[in-house]
Amino acid sequence: MACTSTERPPEPAPVLIPGDEPAEPADDGVLYLVHACSITSGARLYAVGVGETAWRWQTELYAVGPIAHSAYSNRVDLEWKDGRVVVHGDEAMGRYVEAVDPQTGETLVNKRWPPR
pTM over 0.85: no
Q: Report angle CA 70, 86, 96 to the nearest 5 degrees.
A: 45
Quote the pLDDT of residue 7. Answer: 52
Quote the pLDDT of residue 112. Answer: 95
- Please enumerate in sequence order all residues whose Cβ is within 8 A of that of 111, keeping only pairs 6 or more positions apart, or say none: 96, 97, 98
pLDDT-based confidence at residue 23 (cuts at 50, 70, 90): low
Which has the minimum average pLDDT: 23-27, 41-45, 53-57, 107-111? 23-27
- Among 45, 56, 57, 39, CA closest to 3: 39
| Amino acid residing at 14 | P
- Among 43, 44, 56, CA closest to 11: 56
Interval 61-95: pLDDT, tens? 988 877 766 667 889 999 999 999 999 999 988 99
Quote the pLDDT of residue 99. Answer: 95
| Amino acid residing at 59 | T
Contact present, 36 and 46 (Cβ < 8 Å): no
Average pLDDT rounded to a whole number, residues 17-26: 54
Quote the pLDDT of residue 3. Answer: 54
Whole-angstrom Cα distance, residue 39 to residue 17? Answer: 20
pLDDT at 104 over 80: yes
Quote the pLDDT of residue 24. Answer: 62
Quote the pLDDT of residue 59. Answer: 92
